[in-house]
Amino acid sequence: MPMRIAQLANFFGPSSGGLRTAVNALGTGYLAAGHERFLLVPGPEDSWVADSSGTTVTFRAPLMKKSGYRMVLEPWRVLDVLDQLRPSSVEVSDKTTMIAAARWARKNSAGSVLLSHERLDSHLEQRIRWDAGRVAGVDTVNRLLLRMFDSVVVTSSYAEEEFNRVGTRPVHRIPLGVDLSTFHPSRFSGSSGVVPRLIHVGRLSFEKRPDLAILTAVALHRQGFAFTMDVYGDGPDRAELMALAGDAPIIFHPYIADRRVLASHIASSDVALSVSPCETFGLAILEAQACGTPVVTADRGGGRELVTSLSGAFAAPVPSALASAVRDVLSRPAGERRLAAREQAERYPWSATVSAMLDVHAAVREDALGVVA
């Protein structure tokens, strides 16, 4: 039976690639499977747009300049739209301004799904450097979320840990996917040079730990290792990161919206650095591996679960250890490391993610209707 699925998200500006990519890939999959898809997001002004990707409803919300986050100050307007759309289930990926949708679903015989795309304890630690009392406070919030939503979906074992601390109710672990056609080794352009090419793609905001990638390159430079590194992305800490790079051969490029152009740059690199120890998944890791580019990542966090000893390398999240991992990867035959990276990415097609998420939506819808009956 076709479902009406409302996705509620709060994107960080144009450089919020990961969450935007995931929500849109899921929405496209829902439509392709014969369901209706509605996307509800805050933005600069109110609008309703219906096109081939479904219906997108934008709510006027002020921009928090430092983070790029938009604060929904009138949540009742979101609920009014849900009253008009009458979805069979809501999928919420914002744990702050959009969680009122779970209460709406409970009152209106609809299912509710929380797509937990970040781990709160690690997020707080990185963003505000808060540690004292952090776990206790986060556990309280997560207990509340488990009670509010019919189902909670996480994308990795690492993301699942904080929910496992607070009770016996299971969560669904559903890895995200990657566009294996757009991100493909055939995007390679140019020729392999003597000097290795490193790349980092991501939002330039310190809670994402781009500084670790920069400092890894600085460590390689100080070791006298010859390389170049390209950084693609934007964010509030771009200027500080450029200063941190010093005289290392690092070039900062603007955010690239065209996914095919970005894939070409990734496929033409020798190693991708995606080293945050607090990512709950790491779409940038899958996109690099899909391009046949091996990845160096931290030995903890969700990203570690995506990289094997053949498709890249992992090390403690300190520049010296990560620099050694980069040199290790580059010492392997290029053909072998690129093939292993691509094969690892092929384990994560979006079709598998969409199918699993639709099973969750069907289950919460049936449960909601069962309660009424």
> Model confidence over 219-271: pLDDT tens digits?
999 999 999 999 999 988 999 999 999 999 999 999 998 999 999 999 999 99
**Cβ atoms < 10 Å from Cβ of 276:** 27
Q: What is the mean pLDDT of residues 362-371?
A: 88
Find, among 21, 32, 33, 23, the residue nearest to 359 by Cα: 33
Answer whether residue 285 shows pLDDT above 60. Answer: yes
pLDDT for residue 138: 84
Give this prediction's pTM: 0.91
Answer whether residue 373 shows pLDDT above 50. Answer: no
pLDDT for residue 192: 59
CA contacts within 13 A on the Cβ side of 245? 19
Q: What is the mean pLDDT of residues 68-79?
A: 82
pLDDT for residue 132: 44
Find, among 203, 206, 278, 281, the residue nearest to 240 by Cα: 206
Helices (H), 238-333: 238-245, 259-267, 283-290, 319-330
Least confident of 55-69, 88-102, 212-226: 55-69
pLDDT for residue 193: 67
Q: Which residue segments constitute the domains of the chain, with CATH numbers given?
A: 4-177+349-372 (3.40.50.2000), 185-345 (3.40.50.2000)
pLDDT for residue 22: 93
Pair 161, 300: CB distance under 8 Å: no
Answer whether residue 29 shows pLDDT above 90. Answer: yes
Round the average pLDDT of the chain to a whole number and report it: 90
What phi, psi does 43 have (nearest 5°)? -165, -170
pLDDT for residue 43: 87
Beta strands of the chain (E only): which ranges? 4-8, 36-43, 47-51, 54-60, 63-64, 69-70, 89-92, 111-116, 151-154, 172-173, 197-201, 228-232, 250-253, 271-273, 295-298, 312-315
pLDDT for residue 126: 56
- Name the band, by pLDDT with cuts 50, 70 and 90, for residue 123: low
pLDDT for residue 136: 65
pLDDT for residue 247: 97
Answer whether residue 125 shows pLDDT above 80. Answer: no
What are the tokens at 238? 């771009």
Task: Return the percentage of the chain with pLDDT > 90, whole number.
Answer: 71
Report the C-alpha gap between 189 and 38 in whole angstroms: 38
Beta strands of 204-249 (E only): which ranges? 228-232
> Model confidence over 197-210: pLDDT tens digits?
999 999 998 888 99
Answer whether residue 168 shows pLDDT above 90. Answer: no
pLDDT for residue 15: 43
Answer whether residue 14 shows pLDDT above 50. Answer: no
Answer whether residue 372 shows pLDDT above 50. Answer: no
- Name the band, by pLDDT with cuts 50, 70 and 90, for residue 69: confident
Sorted by sequence, the CB contacts under 8 Å of residue 202 that are 6+ apart come out as 17, 208, 210, 213, 233, 274, 284
Tokens 């992992």 locate to 314
Widest CA span of the chain, in angstroms? 71
- Name the band, by pLDDT with cuts 50, 70 and 90, for residue 67: low
Q: Give, for 198, the enclosing helix (H) or strand (E).
A: strand 197-201
